[in-house]
Structure 1
C-alpha cells in the first residue's frame, strides 16, 4: 500500500472491525473466508501505511491498541457514511427510502408505534424500518447525527441545527411515585428535597453521547440508573427507590395500587414533546418519511402515542 487512502478502504475498515469483534485473527479470517496469513499480511500493510501498531499481538486475543481503538471508532463512522451515501443514491432513484430509522423516546407508547408500523407495512413498501430507543437528549441526537430520519418524543427546547424541522406532539405530566411499601409512601406531604435526598432515586440514563441530561436528581442523592423507562418502573415497583415518571405510563399501576403518587415540594413537571425530521445533509422527505409525517398530523395518533400505555 502506497498511502493512507489505499489503506483505509471500506473493505479494510470492515476487516479491522471483524478482528476486533471476534477477538482473533483466525476467527476473523474464518468469518471473512480468507486464510489467516492473508489477513495478517493485510493488517501489517495497513499498519505500515499508517506507521502505527493497531493490535497488541502479545496476548492470546487480538486486542486493539489505543491507536487501533481510535481507528475502529472513526472507521465505523466512515462505514456508516458510505452506507448513508448509497442509501441516499437509491432513494433519489426510487422515491422510497431503502431504510427509514425512527428514534423513539421512552415516553412514547410502543403499542401505538407498532400499530403504525403494521399500517406502514400494509402498504407493501420496499423500505425497511429500524426502531431505535432513545432517552432524553439521545432521541434528538440520533436525528442530528444522521443515525435516524425521524425522532418522535423530543423534549421541546432551543435548537440551532440547520434544516431541522419540528412539530408539536403534545405534553406529558411527570409525577413522583413510589411503591406502597417504600418509606416515602408514609411521610407527610409535600415531601421536601431534604427528605427526598435521604432516599435512593431511580433514573433513566440519557442515551445521548454528547450530553448527560438528568431529571429530578438532587445533589448528593444515591441513584440507581437504568437504561429504559420500563426498567425504571419495575425498579420503583420493587421499592428500590422513587422518582418521576410519565403519568400515562404509571396510571395502570396507580389504579391497581402497585404505585402511589406523592406530592413533592417542587413545581409540577409538564414536559412538552415534539417530533423532528430533516437536519444537515437531508434532502426532501422520501415517500416513507412522508407517510409517517402524514400520520403524525392526526390529533388522535399524537394523543395515542403519549397516552396508550395500558395495552402493552
Structure 2
C-alpha cells in the first residue's frame, strides 16, 4: 500500500508552521524554498485537499491542514521514539524489563533500585508484577518476566541462574480477640482444627500449584495476596502463618498476636532468579546490584551486605 503522507512531508509541514514561513522552513530543513513548496503541493495533490489558505498575503493552515499537522506531529513523535528504541535495543538495553516480585515480599524493597536505574537508563520501561509460590517460577519459565526477586526453592527446570538473598521468617498469627489466644502455648496442631486457615492461592498457570505452611484447619479461605491474607486474619476470619516483616505494624498496634506452635514453620530461603541466556544490559545491571544485597528479615528490606539499609 502506497502511503500518501510521508514523514518527510509531515516534517516539512511542521517546520513551516513553527517557523511561520516557507522560506524559514527551507532554511531549517537545509533545502531551497522551491523544494519545500513542491513537497507541500505534492501532499495537497495526493490528498486532494488544501492544507494552506493562499488567498491571504501570508499562507495560513486551513482547518484540514491544522488537523493533518496535529495528528502528524504525533506520528513524528512516535517515529522519533521508535528510532531511539531501535538504537537502544541495538546497544543491548531492553525496551522493556519485566520484574516479578514474590508475594511474600513487597515492591517497596526494590523501589530504590528502580530509581537508580532510571537515572542511567530512563528509556527502558519497567513492569512490575506479583506472583505467589510456584507462580514466580512459572512466570519466568513462561516468559512473562525477565527477573524474579524472592523466588522460593530451586529452579524447576535447567537454564536458570539464581543468587541467594536470605531467609524470610514466618509467624503463626491470629487476631487479638481470637479464641486461640485463650489456650496455653505452644499450641498443638490439633488445637486449630476448628478454625479456618487463610491461604494465599498459588498463582502458577502451568507449573503444579502448591501451598506453603498449610495447616489442618476444618476449612480454608483462599485469598490472592499476602496483603489480603493479613487483612483477613486481622478480622479474625481465619488463622495462618504470615511473614514476620509484613506484620510488625499489626503486632505493634495489637491487631495480631503471635502464638507459638508445637511444630514451628522453618524460615524460607529466597533468591533472585533469571534466565542464563538473557544478555540484556538492564537485567545484568539489576542482577549485579542484587548480588551485593541481602534480605533483612526484620525490616523486610534489601540491604547492602554488611552495610546500612539503602
- TM-score, scaled to structure 2: 0.65
What residue in structure 1 maps to residue 133 of structure 2? 136
Preserved contact between residue 201 and residue 241 of structure 1 (Cα < 8 Å): yes
What residue in structure 2 maps to residue 123 of structure 1? 120
* Equivalent of residue 292 in structure 1, options 286, 289, 308: 286
Change (3 A) 1:187 1:304: closer
Residue 131 of structure 1 aligns to a residue whose secondary structure is: strand
Higher normalized helix content (fraction of residues):
1
Mapped pair 1:161 → 2:157: yes
What residue in structure 2 maps to residue 104 of structure 1? 101
Change (3 A) 1:260 1:94: same
Preserved contact between residue 103 and residue 140 of structure 1 (Cα < 8 Å): no
Mapped pair 1:307 → 2:300: yes
Partners in 1 of 2:156 and 2:232 — Cα distance?
Answer: 36
Partners in 1 of 2:177 and 2:217 — Cα distance?
Answer: 24
Change (3 A) 1:283 1:248: closer
Flag structure 1 segments of 5+ consecutive residues without an equivalent: 1-88
Residue 269 of structure 1 aligns to a residue whose secondary structure is: coil
1:69-116 CA-to-partner distances (Å, cap 9, x unmatched) read: xxxxxxxxxxxxxxxxxxxx9876231011110111112232222222
Q: CA RMSD in A?
A: 2.4
Most deviating of 90-99 and 220-229:
90-99
Change (3 A) 1:107 1:142: same
Partners in 1 of 2:288 and 2:93 — Cα distance?
Answer: 15
What residue in structure 2 maps to residue 29 of structure 1? none
Partners in 1 of 2:265 and 2:203 — Cα distance?
Answer: 24
Mapped pair 1:191 → 2:187: yes
Change (3 A) 1:233 1:186: same
1:5-64 CA-to-partner distances (Å, cap 9, x unmatched) read: xxxxxxxxxxxxxxxxxxxxxxxxxxxxxxxxxxxxxxxxxxxxxxxxxxxxxxxxxxxx
* Equivalent of residue 265 in structure 1, options 262, 266, 273: 262
Partners in 2 of 1:200 and 1:242 — Cα distance?
Answer: 6
Preserved contact between residue 245 and residue 297 of structure 2 (Cα < 8 Å): no
Preserved contact between residue 205 and residue 225 of structure 1 (Cα < 8 Å): yes
* Equivalent of residue 205 in structure 2, options 209, 218, 236: 209
Report how many aligned residue pairs link the two structures.
217
Mapped pair 1:225 → 2:222: yes
State the Cα distance separating 1:256 from its structure 2 match: 2.1
Mapped pair 1:234 → 2:231: yes
Partners in 2 of 1:160 and 1:299 — Cα distance?
Answer: 24
Q: Which runs of 4+ in 1 moved over 4 A?
A: 89-92
State the Cα distance separating 1:253 from its structure 2 match: 1.4
State the Cα distance separating 1:283 from its structure 2 match: 3.5
State the Cα distance separating 1:190 from its structure 2 match: 1.7
Partners in 1 of 2:156 and 2:240 — Cα distance?
Answer: 31
Change (3 A) 1:212 1:221: farther
Aligned 1:5-16 pairs, distance under 5 A? none
State the Cα distance separating 1:219 from its structure 2 match: 4.7
- TM-score, scaled to structure 1: 0.64
What residue in structure 1 maps to residue 56 of structure 2? none
